[in-house]
Amino acid sequence: MTPIALDPVRVAAWRSTWDAMMTGFIPGLAGLERALGTAVEALRGGPPRRVLDLGGGPGLLAERMAARWPEATVTLVDLDPVLLELARAGLPDVIGVVGADLASTAWTARAGGGHDLITAVMTVHYLSPAAIHALYAAAREALAPGGVLVVADLMPDDGLPGLMRVLDPGPGEAAAELAWARWWSELSAVPEIGGLMDARAALFRDRPPAGFTAGLSWHAAAARTAGFGEAGALWREGRHAALAACR
């Protein structure tokens, strides 16, 4: 695809609105990021050196991890060409950006191995249960010994696998849904982004809608089946929780 030049001021504004939107979707997002940073440093006895963020979107978490751990190499993986472009344009020379589909395990070849930390925030609900199992196994292989996988998503306490829409939404979620629709509609009106929007539509056209959700115990069991020694809760706020699994 032909490289495009985006106005850095607009890119910063779009990324900032995305951040606000995700804060609406995930109650206590800042607390999750604090818990993640503290737990990873404690588990590893220091900062991670290689960090991979799966489904990192326009790179807000990746940016904050790069700021917290300035010596670390931080790489983001995503499929969406629009979000990949915002990550590249918003964080030149700060993080590595890799386009790959997490629904197949081919992403590991592109993202490399030896990572000390792999994160996936609000990403795995886009995948089928079988693809999540495969992702956990591939993530384990991509981690260095002692490395940590952190997966945060909708994980109701003891819910059975099912569809998100049957669960009660959090208080800020309706507003976040509206903000999401508005954000995408604003971007589709930007001429320079038109080609990426078309590519995005083609990529997501035949995928099932994002909606798989399962309890934290389901994710912990999936991580153990994938070969992780320890897997348990790192953080919880309402329906949202984070799993930490150690290689």
**Closer by beta carbon to ligand SAM, 145 or else 165:** 165
Do residues 54 and 65 touch, judged by C-beta distance below 8 A?
no
Provide the minimum distance between the beta carbon of 205 and ligand SAM in the complex, in angstroms, as a whole number. Answer: 13
Provide the minimum distance between the beta carbon of 45 and ligand SAM in the complex, in angstroms, as a whole number. Answer: 27
Q: How far is CA 90 from CA 8, 177, 178, 179, 236, in A?
A: 7, 24, 24, 20, 30
**Closer by beta carbon to ligand SAM, 45 or else 181:** 181
Provide the minimum distance between the beta carbon of 203 and ligand SAM in the complex, in angstroms, as a whole number. Answer: 9
Instruction: Measure the CA dihedral 135/50/210/200, to 10°.
Output: -110
- State whether the Cα torsion 211-29-16-64 is positive or negative: negative
Q: Write the CB contacts of 122 (distance below 8 Å, at least 6 apart in sequence).
A: 22, 25, 26, 55, 152, 153
Do residues 56 and 79 touch, judged by C-beta distance below 8 A?
no
**Closer by beta carbon to ligand SAM, 169 or else 224:** 169
Do residues 24 and 173 touch, judged by C-beta distance below 8 A?
yes
Provide the minimum distance between the beta carbon of 60 and ligand SAM in the complex, in angstroms, as a whole number. Answer: 5
**Closer by beta carbon to ligand SAM, 46 or else 207:** 207
Do residues 14 and 223 touch, judged by C-beta distance below 8 A?
no
**Closer by beta carbon to ligand SAM, 46 or else 209:** 209
Provide the minimum distance between the beta carbon of 116 and ligand SAM in the complex, in angstroms, as a whole number. Answer: 19
Q: Which residues bind ligand SAM (CB under 6 A)?
A: 22, 55-57, 60-61, 78-80, 83, 101-103, 121-123, 126
Both tokens assigned to 221: 């069991």
